[in-house]
């Protein structure tokens, strides 16, 4: 089932922050991990990930560095800054509250 695009748009930041809270990742890895965990339900146009990453980095929530991968290929890895970790926690709390409120309304008989 394809998710609504507007829902996806609002979730990308939370998704990026949540995944990077676990470990440093490069862009393609973020795409693969999101797809794996959601059984390929959560998919979006991969090119749009990079402007989102750059925006978060410019706002001080992420930092990046180039690293050589196992196959010798250079990749740009992103990690959370302290501000990023705080934002990740905050957004997660908001999301949990939001979904519980919506679920409560939807399940009301």
Partner 1 sequence: MAPDDVLIERVMAGAGIVGRKRRHEVRLELRSHLEDLIAEARQAGCTDAKIATLVAARFGDPRQVALAFARVYRTERIAVDLAAFGSLALVALGIAYAFVYGVQVLLGPGLGVLPARSQSTAHLASEAVLVGTLTLSYLGLYFAERLFARFRFARVLGLMALVAGVVVWGTTVTGFGHGLLVSLAFAAAAVARGFERLGARGMVRFMGVAAIVLVAGGLGHLDMRTAPTTVALTAGLMMILPVCLTIAVSCQLTASLAAFFDRRFLRRHLA
Binding region for partner 1 (CB under 8 A):
26-28, 45-48, 50-52, 54-55, 58, 73-76
Q: Which is nearer to partner 1, 8 or 92 (CB)?
A: 8
Q: Is the dihedral of CA 17, 19, 20, 26 positive or negative?
A: negative
Q: Which is nearer to partner 1, 20 or 52 (CB)?
A: 52
The CB-of-66 to partner 1 minimum distance in angstroms stands at 8
**CA distances from residue 42 to 53, 57, 78 in whole angstroms, order as listed:** 17, 23, 20
Q: Which is nearer to partner 1, 76 or 93 (CB)?
A: 76
Distance CA 81, CA 40 (A): 28
The CB-of-44 to partner 1 minimum distance in angstroms stands at 8
Distance CA 82, CA 60 (A): 9
Report, in angstroms and rounded to the nearest whole number, the Rg of the chain calculated over CA atoms.
15
Q: Which two tokens mark 8?
A: 């996806």
Q: Which is nearer to partner 1, 35 or 92 (CB)?
A: 35
Q: What is the DSSP letter of 43?
A: -
């Amino acid at each position: 089932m394809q998710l609504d695009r507007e829902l996806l748009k609002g979730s990308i930041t939370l998704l990026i922050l949540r995944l990077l809270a676990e470990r440093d990742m490069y862009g393609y890895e973020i795409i693969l991990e999101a797809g794996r965990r959601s059984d390929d339900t959560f998919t979006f146009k991969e090119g749009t990930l990079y402007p989102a990453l750059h925006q978060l980095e410019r706002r001080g929530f992420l930092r990046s560095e180039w690293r050589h991968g196992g196959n010798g290929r250079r990749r740009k890895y992103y990690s959370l800054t302290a501000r990023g970790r705080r934002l990740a926690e905050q957004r997660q709390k908001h999301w949990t509250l939001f979904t519980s409120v919506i679920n409560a309304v939807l399940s009301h008989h």
